[in-house]
Structure formats: structure tokens, C-alpha cells
């Protein structure tokens, strides 16, 4: 089972939770790296500490997924620039690749992040709702589109 994958692997259609056999079918030259739950947890705690030190309000949705609530913060700073700066800090300190999507709610942020990964867009690329709702993934997901 694919536990996590690089952005390079995503270009071949590989994603977390995919059976290894399917991943190797999509990308025969796939490189598998050994890791441990302890290592993954260590990096998760590290990223959590960085976000907690900067974000006014955040939710840790999983070991590697966070939602930061910047509601009303545009009065004090530019949310896009703040997010770009936070991303840069996480990358600089942890050397982990980080992606993000900015939106008015969690669902839209998740879609924007996933679409950005799939399209290899610069982190934080702003998406118009029409563009997001016209994506194949959105059209196929019940309750959306």
C-alpha cells in the first residue's frame, strides 16, 4: 500500500492509499523508500509546532493535513502572502514539500490543493470557483459539482 508519495510520483497518477501493484503498473520505475511511523510522526509534530507558532487558529485533520482559519485576518495582513511565508518556513526548516490551497471553506481549500498538485501549479495558485467546479474530480464526487 502506498503510504505517501512525492509530487513526481503523482504525475503518474499515484496517490496515498493506492495498492503497490497498481502504483508499479502506473510507474514501473517507481522508487520505494522505507520509512517508519516514528519518522512520519516526528515530522508531523515538527510541522504542527511551526503552524501552531504562527497560525491564529488551525485544525490538524490528519498526520499530514492541516486547515488554518484566517477569517478576518485580511485586516491585519495579506493571507496569501502569510500562507506563502508559512509554507517557505516549513520547507526551509523541515525540507518537506508543502502544498496549500486558499479558499473560503475547507472543501474548496482541499479541492484547490489537490488540483494544484495534479496540475503542478505553483503553491497557492488562486483558483476561480468556476474552474474548480468544472474539474473531473469534482464532477465525479457525489454532493459536489
Cα–Cα distance between 75 and 40 in angstroms, integer?
Answer: 36
Please give the Cα distance from 70 to 56 (Å, whole number): 7
Q: Which of these is catalytic: 65, 74, 93, 115?
A: 65
Q: Taking the CB of residue 34, how many other CB atoms lie within 10 A of it?
A: 5
Q: How far apart are CA 20 and CA 14, in angstroms?
A: 9
Task: Mark whether 65 is an active-site residue.
Answer: yes
Q: Name the pairing type of β-strands 58-62 and 65-68.
A: antiparallel
What backbone torsions phi and psi does residue 74 show, to the nearest 5 degrees?
A: -60, -15
Q: Rounded to an integer, what distance in angstroms lies between the CA atom of residue 135 and that of residue 110?
A: 13
Catalytic residue list:
65
Amino acid at each position: 500500500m502506498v503510504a505517501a508519495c512525492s509530487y513526481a510520483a503523482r504525475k503518474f497518477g499515484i496517490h496515498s492509499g493506492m495498492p503497490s501493484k497498481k502504483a508499479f503498473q502506473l510507474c514501473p520505475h517507481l522508487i520505494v523508500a522505507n520509512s517508519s511511523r516514528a519518522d512520519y510522526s516526528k515530522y508531523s509534530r515538527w510541522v504542527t509546532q511551526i503552524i501552531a507558532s504562527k497560525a491564529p487558529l488551525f485544525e490538524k485533520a490528519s498526520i499530514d493535513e492541516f486547515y488554518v482559519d484566517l477569517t478576518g485576518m485580511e485586516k491585519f495582513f495579506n493571507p496569501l502572502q502569510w500562507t506563502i511565508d508559512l509554507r517557505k518556513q516549513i520547507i526551509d526548516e523541515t525540507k518537506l514539500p508543502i502544498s496549500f490551497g486558499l479558499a473560503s471553506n475547507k472543501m474548496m481549500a482541499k479541492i484547490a490543493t489537490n488540483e494544484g498538485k495534479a496540475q503542478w501549479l505553483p503553491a497557492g495558485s488562486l483558483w476561480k470557483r468556476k474552474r474548480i467546479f468544472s474539474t473531473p474530480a469534482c464532477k465525479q464526487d457525489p454532493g459536489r459539482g
